[in-house]
A = this chain, B = another copy of it.
Amino acid sequence: MRKSFYISDGTAITSEVFGHALLSLFPVQFKHVTIPFIETAEQALEVNQKISVSFQETGERPLVFHTIVNPEVRQIICQSEGVNYDFLNHFVPQIEEALGVKAKPEKHRTHSIHETTYDIRIEAVNFALANDDGSNLKDYGEADIILCGVSRSGKTPTSLYLALQYGIKAANYPFTEDDMRDTLKLPAVLKRFKHKLFGLTIAAQRLHDIRTERRANSRYASLQQCRIELREVENLYRKEKIPFLDSTAFSIEEISAKILAITGLERRKY
Contacts from A to B (Cβ < 8 Å)? 2, 10-14, 17-18, 20-28, 30, 32, 34-37, 61, 63, 67, 69, 83, 85, 87-88, 90-92, 94-96, 98-99, 101, 103-105, 107-114, 118, 121-122, 125-126, 129, 132, 156-157, 160-161, 164, 249-254, 256-258, 260-261, 267, 270
Contacts and interface: CB of A to CB of B under 8 A. Distances in A.
A17 to B, nearest CB: 4
A257 B104 contact: no
Nearest to A14: B21
A83 B100 CA distance: 13
Contacts of A107: 24-27
A175 to B, nearest CB: 19
Contact of A22 (B13, B27, B95): B95
B261 A18 contact: no
Given A21-B14, A254-B11, A90 B92 contact: no
Given A18-B18, A26-B95, A67-B21, A87 B87 contact: yes
